Structure 1
Amino acid sequence: MGKLDLVTIIIIATNVIISYKGFGDYSFFEKYKFNVGAVKRGEQIRLFSSGFLHADNAHLFFNMFALYLFSGQVIYEVGKFNFLIIYFGSLLAGSLLSLYFHKNEYHYSAVGASGAVTGILYSAILLNPERLYYFLFLPPRIGSVDLGIPGYILGIGYLLYSIYGMKNRIGNIGHDAHFGGAVGGYIITLVLSPWLFKTNLLMIGLLALPIVLLYVLKKMGKI
């Protein structure tokens, strides 16, 4: 992946600074977290500001670690400016999908960069779907067996799990923000890199399947 890009360093540093401000300042945290009632009252800044707040150190670490892992691939393929478009576009997409699914739950609140990071993850997978990804803390192979998972399998599996999590309200996790971020990363990457339609059309179709499934389930009232 090479050295950590300055753009990624700035985003990580901003997340750390703002998150720690939120850890120690309850009023600041409450003012800028995602909250359906507040957004509907006109505080749209929360759609973005909530993406720089985190619930605790673990939440912050795993989001930033994932960003570190996948940002280099996206920056290499599309450039720094387009990377920022994907990051903030995915953040907004995640917040908007959360707003859509919880529009009648005025108390619903959320924080975290997960939508933006998931968008970057999905963008990286779309740009290089055959790349193998490995589980943290596990060896890359056991004997002759490679434990890597192709990116497109990881992407499809992740979104299917997000749909399952949304449907069953699993854990204190913003599955809808994750899904919205992935959709944002998917769409924006295709807009910025139309050459993918010539080189990876089959993968584009496969990675779209969970998105279509979510749309159908929503129309059927299953979610």
Structure 2
Amino acid sequence: MYNLDIVTIVVIAANTIISFKGFDDRLFFERYKFNVGNIRRGDQVRMISSGFLHADIKHLIFNMFTLFFFAHPVIDKLGNFNFVLIYFASLIFGNLLSLYFHKDEYWYSAIGASGAVTGVLYSAILLDPNLSINFIPGYLFGIGYLLFSIYGMKKRIGNIGHDAHFGGAIGGYVITLILMPSLFQTDLLYIGLLAIPIIILFVLHKTGKLN
């Protein structure tokens, strides 16, 4: 699980270089961060560029360490290209969900690779549901993490993009199942269990109980 693949090195390097540029250049940071108002006015590059900016070194290190731990299981099972596909799809899914939930908050801004990294994490769990995360089976960690994300979205806990995390997980979940449909034959129970938080979010939103 701890192998460092060349594609992981490239992704970590890109995040590090762009984040440090943002640390030193406030205009650059403001130009490429996720901002609802600017995106709705057509500045779509922010949907991707914001995922390579971070608030500070601690934020960057946390995301990159998480990526380091869970990238290899995905690369090992699906290959480099599909890993990159999952990474960027999860980044976009995360920002799309943020945009959806904050579409009328033109001031809302966010940064960080958390959506992409959460998508990779969820993909790794789907590929190996019993993957141990802090001595907890992966599928239980994944379910608990997304349930907490729903709670965080509902209560607006902390300065954290819970919706981006959730959207990223959906991206990792969906793209992994598209890439490896054989999981429906071998791990249908876990697919169903990991879908529970997604269904709960959908129901809460439809019934107006999320806010």
Residue 60 of structure 1: aligned partner: 60
Give the letter for the 2:164 counterpart: A
1:220 aligns with 2:210: no
Give the letter for the 2:77 counterpart: E
Structure 2: gaps (5+ residues): none
Give the letter for the 2:40 counterpart: K
More moved, 2-11 vs 20-29: 2-11
Per the alignment, in what secondary structure is the counterpart of residue 21 of structure 1?
helix
Residue 45 of structure 2: aligned partner: 45
TM-score in terms of structure 2 length: 0.99
Distance 1:206 1:110 in 2: 30
> Do 2:2 and 2:69's aligned partners in 1 also have CA atoms closer than 8 Å?
no
Identity %: 68
> Do 2:90 and 2:167's aligned partners in 1 also have CA atoms closer than 8 Å?
yes
Structure 1: gaps (5+ residues): 135-147
Residue 145 of structure 1: aligned partner: none
1:202-221 map, 5 Å: 202-221=189-208
Divergent runs of 4+, >4 A: none
Larger Rg: 1
1:23 aligns with 2:23: yes
Residue 194 of structure 1: aligned partner: 181
The CA deviation at 1:3 is 2.9
Per the alignment, in what secondary structure is the counterpart of residue 163 of structure 2?
helix
Residue 172 of structure 1: aligned partner: 159
Distance 2:180 2:189 in 1: 15
Distance 1:200 1:2 in 2: 24
The CA deviation at 1:2 is 5.0
The CA deviation at 1:222 is 1.2
Residue 154 of structure 1: aligned partner: 141
> Do 2:2 and 2:68's aligned partners in 1 also have CA atoms closer than 8 Å?
no
Give the letter for the 1:95 counterpart: N
1:121 aligns with 2:121: yes
Instruction: Give the CA RMSD over aligned residues.
Output: 0.6
